[in-house]
Amino acid sequence: MSTHQQLGELVLAVANSRDRAAFAQLFDHFGPRLRAYLVRLGSDPASADEILQDVMTTLWTKSHLFDPSKSSIATWLYRIARNRRIDTLRRDRLDFFDPMEAPEIVAEDIEVDRKIDMQFREGRIKESLMILPEEQLSLIRMAFFDDLSHSEIAEKTGLPLGTVKSRIRLAFSKLRRQLETNGVIDAGSEN
């Protein structure tokens, strides 16, 4: 299995030297995974292929827009695939603009260390996720990735309904707190 770093190097090779072999490796790694995601969310195989082709074309033509300090290539491609699937109803070809690509507005008075920290978002984010116990993560996955209702989760896990609800609530507030502690913040707003 390719490591995060190897994948990052392949993307660099695509961005810098239009390396087709590197692109094919990325395609073979992410293609089946993204396609599985698209089908799981309800795309039929033909449209899943079409969306996948769009997503991988974006990687081929716009890999220079990928910023490894902001997110991993997996998360970047995931966002493009997700947005594209939701946006297939629109006819025109304007790309859906993902908010994570929006310029970060950093307040003037924020100290330099903090600014540097913000550069390595995904590392900080992964650290923050690690404080959640596996059980809470799996409840979040069931509730939001699999879109199961709380009572379906209660049935599946054998946990009382109230416990399902409170653990999800707890996991979210823990995650928010930890993100704050780890300095994964987007300071300021347009005003």
Q: Which is nearer to other proteins, 57 or 119 (CB)?
A: 57
Amino acid at 80: I
Q: How far apart are CA 188 and CA 104, in angstroms?
A: 9
For residues 16-49, one letter each, b for 16 or more C-beta atoms within 10 angstroms of the residue's C-beta and e for the rest, the string is eeebeebbebbbebbbeebbebbeeeebeeeebe
Q: Which is nearer to other proteins, 10 or 34 (CB)?
A: 34
| Least separation in angstroms between CB 26 and other proteins | 11
Q: Which is nearer to other proteins, 58 or 111 (CB)?
A: 58
174 binds other proteins (CB under 8 A): no
CB distance 185 to 111 below 8 Å: no
6 binds other proteins (CB under 8 A): no
120 binds other proteins (CB under 8 A): no
| Least separation in angstroms between CB 99 and other proteins | 4
Site string for other proteins, 71-100 (x = CB under 8 A): xx-xx-xxx--xx-xxx-xx-x-xxxxxxx
169 binds other proteins (CB under 8 A): yes
Among 105, 133, 156, 181, binds other proteins (CB under 8 A): 105
Angle at 79 between CA 78 and CA 84, to 5 degrees: 100
User: HSE (CB half, 13 Å, CA atoms) of 36?
Assistant: 6
CB distance 171 to 164 below 8 Å: no
| Least separation in angstroms between CB 127 and other proteins | 10
Could you give the angle at which helices 73-86 and 4-17 cross, rounded to 10 degrees? 70
3 binds other proteins (CB under 8 A): no
Burial label, 164 (beta-carbon count in 10 A; 0-12, 13-18, 19+): buried
| Least separation in angstroms between CB 112 and other proteins | 19
Site string for other proteins, 10-49 (x = CB under 8 A): ----------x--xx--xx--xxxxxxx--xx-------x
